Amino acid sequence: MLDLTLRRDPRIKKAKKIRETIESRLDLWEQGEKGRETLLQEATKISRRAHSSSRRGESKSRSKREELEKEAGLPEMRKFRNFIQAGEMRRGTRILTGRKKA
């Protein structure tokens, strides 16, 4: 019951609106089985909406971040750092200079 009543809708920000939402949900709970069914539908709708929007934004931000990292040369710098820390100076400098193994 508590989870259905307190489920947060990310679109609702103001304290007054949050209070009104909780009060209306408590009223629905007191209505009995029909009100509980409405609460359950509302909670699943909020959950589905939050899950789909977070996944959509995550893929866009991840690809953008990877693109920016590649432009900045971060993958090469990570390889360089790993080789140097492992004591492989020659392999690390080859990464930076772009030279191939002869």
Q: What does the pLDDT look like over 18-47, one tens digit per residue?
A: 889 888 888 888 888 888 888 888 888 887
Q: Other CB atoms closer than 10 Å to residue 28's CB: what's the count? A: 19
**pLDDT-above-90 percentage for the chain:** 3
Q: Other CB atoms closer than 10 Å to residue 24's CB: what's the count? A: 15
Residue 87's pLDDT band, with cuts at 50, 70 and 90, is: very high
pTM score, whole prediction = 0.44
Q: What does the pLDDT look like over 8-26, one tens digit per residue?
A: 777 888 889 888 988 888 8
The pLDDT, as a whole number, for residue 86 is: 93
How far apart are the C-alpha atoms of 85 and 97, rounded to whole Å?
A: 18
Q: What does the pLDDT look like over 46-66, one tens digit per residue?
A: 878 776 655 555 566 677 777
End-to-end CA distance of the chain: 69
**pLDDT-above-70 percentage for the chain:** 81
Domain residue limits, the chain: 2-97
Residue 25 CB contacts under 8 Å (≥ 6 apart), including other chains: 4, 5, 39, 42
